[in-house]
Structure 1
Amino acid sequence: MKITIISPFSFGYINALVEELQSYPSVEVSFIQLDKFKLEYSGVPQRVKNFFSKTLLCRNIKQKYLEDQIKKEILSCPPSNYILVIRPDKLKGETLLFLKEHTKQLISYYFDAIVNIPKMKERLPYFDKVYSYEKEDVEKYDLGFITNFIPVDHYIKNKENNIVFNISSYDERFPVIEAVARQLNEQNHPYNILIRQRKGLKSKYVKMLRDYLPLSETKKMIEQAGILLDIQKCDQKGLSFRVFEALGAGKKLITTNSAVVDYDFFNPDNICVINKKKPVISKEFLNKPYVDIPESIVAKYRRRAWIKEVFGIEKRN
């Protein structure tokens, strides 16, 4: 079976899915990462030309270069049984039609709410199947429901450490994250909270990063922590990867996403749901031990289960 995945940079989570597929003897997988196709301007004239092209003709030289490179990659390989597109709003309809002509099944996975990226609604008709982790979008647009997945199969378990860990990009969640960090600081509770940003922002309570950390480094930090912090974005009810990292690593979780209580792995001893406006974390929760979740439940959220649902294939041990 031939599978092609087309995706922008996703903090290594899609790379983790590709790595798992590569371990399937019956699968040949190609990964087209959109971020590697960046047109470098040859000089000021080309930059000016693209400015007027975008402004007057609605034609973007960089976008055309990106989509031409995708087509070139597709034509260089045998047709795929499946092409999975993450963030199809980044591609034109013409390119999606091209992809559809070169696969038996063109599918997509939306790991953001359509209300946050309206263009994703326009892209729905191009696909044979669209999956989403947002239950409201699933109901409204007749999509297939699937959650995010545990990106790593094996974590080093460290139940002695009670550090609260979070790593996020700087966005509208920052005030809540900083408020939690301030509270932990006042309680003298250990934490490691990192924010990636480029604006020269400073904070007394969180550490600022300029660059993205690879998933392997994040994994080490998760293993060193005892509790993960998850602050959901606006209009997000689907569960983030942080929730599944906590589940896979056997870590407690502090989250603003109240939808987590409806999942079969929810245990109030392991998961504390806080209010965004007034995030309050009790010392009792911070200090209580983690309650193990049966593997029969955890297995539902591993990469193998995700692959079986989306591509209909199983890995034999």
Structure 2
Amino acid sequence: MDKDIKTILLITYDNWGFNQYIADALEAKGHEVKHINFHHFRYKYPNLGYKIFNFFTKNTGILNLKHQHYNSVILKEIEKLNKIDTSIYIKADFLSPETIKAINKKSEKSVLIISDSINRYPKTKKILTLFDKVFSFEKKDCEKYNLIFKTNFIYNYVEHIPEVFIYKVFNISSLDNRFPVFQKIAKYLHQLNINYRIIIFTSKKENDPYLEFSKTTLSISENNALLAESEIMLDVHRTQQQGLSFRVFESLGLHKKLITTNSDIINYDFYNPENIHIIEDVEKISIPELFFEKPYTKVPKKFLEKYLIENWVEELI
């Protein structure tokens, strides 16, 4: 086997499908990739008693039967691999230290990617020392825990900008504590008579005159189809999050303007106020009319090279 060809184990909780792009990019370079996406694993309670037991034990931090199931299945999966050059983990806080150590014992190199704030997933702190390299998109976490800064990536790059769009502004998100912000922005866009579409995923019954709700999540291809129909993207960052979300990198790859609540975007090399409008205060939203009217100023591809998935993966292996 070519010495440059590596066997790579990618372990992720890929609920949206973004991490498959990492596997695809590594395979495109000729590497052998085993992608274990434990979001696909299903745990069935043997009976109601187990379900009640798990409710109490997981909320007290004693035991989570679903997570125990994830660990068990993953360990069985790696038994089939004789050698691993690089193990790459995303969402490793679901895994036990024992599982991580067992995998790393078979690996020449181990890498953890954190694409959330550690404040949001504090269990991550307990496993940081188990990896050879730890990357994070959160600058504050990098400084606090001595991690390597690494943004999210552009997984979809197009050469040409479409001329016709169905929606002026678009966003698709899950229901969480950002909901009141989406409500305020949607109402503002409605008052400006802007043609927008903001979809909120939730299993609960919700009602808002300015938002659309869906109980069914969309596939990546369905999401990309909606993005293609939209001229401007909306990004609402999570509380205490500074790292840039995938919305930002989707807008870069598709050459779309962006409305965002994340003021830290001003510190990135691709920032251009003609393309990116920052909502500093959701209680006093004010977006210039010209921002909606002027066309996108295309960012030269040479400035986006490091964010493209085919280049972004190089640092991992």
TM-score clears 0.5:
yes
Q: How many residues align?
A: 310
Hey, what does 1:314 align to over in structure 2? Answer: none
Q: TM-score, normalised by structure 2?
A: 0.92
Q: Is the counterpart of residue 259 in structure 1 residue 258 in structure 2?
A: no
Q: TM-score, normalised by structure 1?
A: 0.92
1:73-88 to 2 correspondence within 5 Å? 73-88=77-92
Hey, what does 1:2 align to over in structure 2? Answer: 7
User: Which SS does the other structure have where 2:39 is aligned?
Assistant: helix
The whole-number CA distance in structure 1 between the counterparts of 2:159 and 2:174 is 24
For residue 165 of structure 1, what is the amino acid of its counterpart? F
Hey, what does 2:294 align to over in structure 1? Answer: 288
Hey, what does 2:224 align to over in structure 1? Answer: 219
**Residue 70 and residue 187 in structure 1: after superposition, are their counterparts in 2 closer, same or farther (change >3 A)?**
same
Structure 2 unaligned runs (5+)? 1-5
Hey, what does 2:202 align to over in structure 1? Answer: 197
**Residue 295 and residue 277 in structure 1: after superposition, are their counterparts in 2 closer, same or farther (change >3 A)?**
same
Question: Once the two structures are superposed, what CA deviation does each residue of 1:180-228 show, in whole Å capped at 9, x if it has no partner?
Answer: 1111111111111110011101111111011211111111111111100
Give yes or no for contact 1:176–1:279 (8 Å, CA) kept in 2: no
For residue 220 of structure 1, what is the amino acid of its counterpart? A
**Residue 47 and residue 238 in structure 1: after superposition, are their counterparts in 2 closer, same or farther (change >3 A)?**
closer
Q: 1:309 aligns with which of 296, 300, 315?
A: 315
Structure 1 unaligned runs (5+)? 312-317
The whole-number CA distance in structure 1 between the counterparts of 2:7 and 2:175 is 37
1:155-174 to 2 correspondence within 5 Å? 157-161=161-165, 163-174=168-179
Q: Is the counterpart of residue 300 in structure 1 residue 306 in structure 2?
A: yes
For residue 259 of structure 2, what is the amino acid of its counterpart? I
How big is the shift at 1:249? 0.1
The whole-number CA distance in structure 2 between the counterparts of 1:92 and 1:167 is 32
The whole-number CA distance in structure 2 between the counterparts of 1:185 and 1:44 is 47
How big is the shift at 1:56? 9.4
Give yes or no for contact 1:88–1:108 (8 Å, CA) kept in 2: yes
User: Which SS does the other structure have where 2:284 is aligned?
Assistant: coil
Hey, what does 1:187 align to over in structure 2? Answer: 192
The whole-number CA distance in structure 2 between the counterparts of 1:57 and 1:250 is 44
Hey, what does 1:108 align to over in structure 2? Answer: 112
**Residue 245 and residue 48 in structure 1: after superposition, are their counterparts in 2 closer, same or farther (change >3 A)?**
closer
**Residue 33 and residue 57 in structure 1: after superposition, are their counterparts in 2 closer, same or farther (change >3 A)?**
closer
Hey, what does 1:274 align to over in structure 2? Answer: 279
User: Which SS does the other structure have where 1:239 is aligned?
Assistant: coil
Hey, what does 2:3 align to over in structure 1? Answer: none
Question: Once the two structures are superposed, what CA deviation does each residue of 1:140-170 show, in whole Å capped at 9, x if it has no partner?
Answer: 2111111000121337632443610100001
**Residue 95 and residue 225 in structure 1: after superposition, are their counterparts in 2 closer, same or farther (change >3 A)?**
same
What's the C-alpha RMSD, in Å, of the aligned pairs? 1.9
**Residue 173 and residue 36 in structure 1: after superposition, are their counterparts in 2 closer, same or farther (change >3 A)?**
same
Q: 2:147 aligns with which of 128, 143, 147?
A: 143
Percent identity between the two aligned chains: 35
The whole-number CA distance in structure 2 between the counterparts of 1:153 and 1:215 is 14
Q: 2:96 aligns with which of 81, 92, 95?
A: 92
